[in-house]
Every structure is written in C-alpha cells, then in structure tokens.
Amino acid sequence: MRLELFGHPFSSYTWKALIALYAEGIAFTFRMVDGEHPENGQAVQSAGPLGKFPVLRDGGKLVFEATAIIEHLSNHHAAAGALIPADPDAALTMRMVDRVFDNYVMDPMADAVGEYLRDGKNPDHARVEEARGKLERSYAWLEGWLASYPQPDHVTLIECAAAPSLFYADWVHPIGEPYPRLRQWRAHLLQLPPVARCVEEARPYRPFFPLGAPDRD
C-alpha cells in the first residue's frame, strides 16, 4: 500500500518528513491538512494526543512526530543506513543533534511566531526577545559544532531537521556575521534538491508568515 503523509507545505515539521521522503525517492501520497480537506484533519486528530501534523500512514499504522516518521522510514523504506546510521553510537550522536534543532532552534522560533499569531499588532516583545536570545545561543553552539561536522554527500536525519529549522529561524532572527559556517551551511541546505523542492512548494503560502516573510530565499 502506498504511504500517505498528512501535513501542510508551509509547516516546518512537515518539511522535515518530506525531505526524507524526497531524498530517498520513497513513493507516497501527500494529504493536505487544511479547511478544504476535513477528512485529512480527522486522520491527524486520531493519531496523537494534540492532533498535530505531520502524520504518516503506512497501511494500518499511523506514525506521528517528524523524527519518529523518519525513524520509521529508515527502518522500513529507505536505503540501509542512509537516513540514520546502523552504528548505535553514531546513531545516538545523530539523534542528539536532531533534538538540538527541534528543541533549541525550532522551538524558540515557534515561540516568537506564536506571539505574533496571538496578537500580531501587540506581541509580547519580552517573550519575542527571549526567543531570539535562545536562537542566538543556539547559533553560537552550532557554529562551533559545524567545525567538526563531516557534512555527508547525502541527506540524513540531521539535514532533515536542520533545513526547515534554520530556514524559518533565520526569518525570525537572522543568522549574523559571527556565524559564517552556519550561514554557509544554511545556504548549502537550501540548494539540496529535496530541500529546494520544499521551499518551492511552500512559496505560495509566504504571505501568511506572521512576522512578514523576508524578500529572499
């Protein structure tokens, strides 16, 4: 049975799963979650406790959370060791860095965006600045980490996590000149075919970005 991915093209976590699917050339059907497709929203609501996408349907199994989806693809559909290495220590390191992007880049970015969603004309600027401060600390850590990261010639869990989080985080709090490695890596990630495809598929939705999408990327 053909895989189905439920999500939205402008969603960073949907990107995370899509990048893995595109990179590995895995056949699937995309199910848009929006007001025009209530049946897809119902499938998402039935999967996890808070009804968040993306959700992968593989036969009778629903898998939610983007990292878990990539783990499932790695175990059952992708080339062996491509998305996540078989070596347990290498896999552990990769999962740790995956959590850095989700918890320390994606989360503060989402906190800032959430303030503008709550009240676009009067966001809590203290909370927005707190989120930007967390992003600044994460950028500094990633700049150092990149000095020893042997960038692979294929997409792994790390690239799946890094590309969407850095794409949107830079819109919220631009990656500054003190972080040349991170700036260069973000540009490199956006040129990878699976990532570039996500960027283009999301382009029509940019006017909905609460802070105002920058005229770049």
Length of the chain: 217
Backbone angles phi, psi at 52, to 5 degrees: -105, 150
Q: What per-residue confidence (pLDDT) applies to 57?
A: 98
The overall average pLDDT reported for the chain is 96
Mean pLDDT along residues 122-140: 97
- How far is it, in rounded angstroms, from Cα 79 to Cα 149? 22
User: Is the pLDDT assigned to residue 145 strictly greater than 80?
Assistant: yes
* Structural domains of the chain, ranges and CATH numbers in brackets: 3-76 (3.40.30.10), 88-192 (1.20.1050.10)
Dihedral, CA of residue 180, residue 142, residue 113 and residue 209, to nearest 10? 50
pLDDT band for position 153 (cuts 50, 70, 90): confident
User: Is the pLDDT assigned to residue 1 strictly greater than 80?
Assistant: no
Mean pLDDT along residues 23-29: 98
Q: What per-residue confidence (pLDDT) applies to 120?
A: 87
pLDDT tens figures, 82-117: 999 999 999 999 999 999 999 999 999 999 999 999
Q: What per-residue confidence (pLDDT) applies to 9?
A: 98
Preceding peptide of 210 cis, ω within 30°: no
The residues pairing with 28 across neighbouring beta strands, listed in sequence order, are 3
Mean pLDDT along residues 65-93: 97
Q: How far from 216 is each of 9, 47, 60, 194, 203, CA to CA, in Å?
A: 18, 36, 41, 19, 11
User: Is the pLDDT assigned to residue 80 strictly greater than 80?
Assistant: yes
Mean pLDDT along residues 163-167: 98
Q: What per-residue confidence (pLDDT) applies to 48?
A: 93
- Take residue 139 and report the two structure tokens written for it: 């950028």
- Identify whether the C-beta of residue 187 lies closer than 8 Å to the C-beta of residue 43: no
pLDDT band for position 217 (cuts 50, 70, 90): very high
- Take residue 24 and report the two structure tokens written for it: 């590995």
- In the chain, the percentage of residues whose pLDDT exceeds 90 is 96
User: Is the pLDDT assigned to residue 142 strictly greater than 80?
Assistant: yes
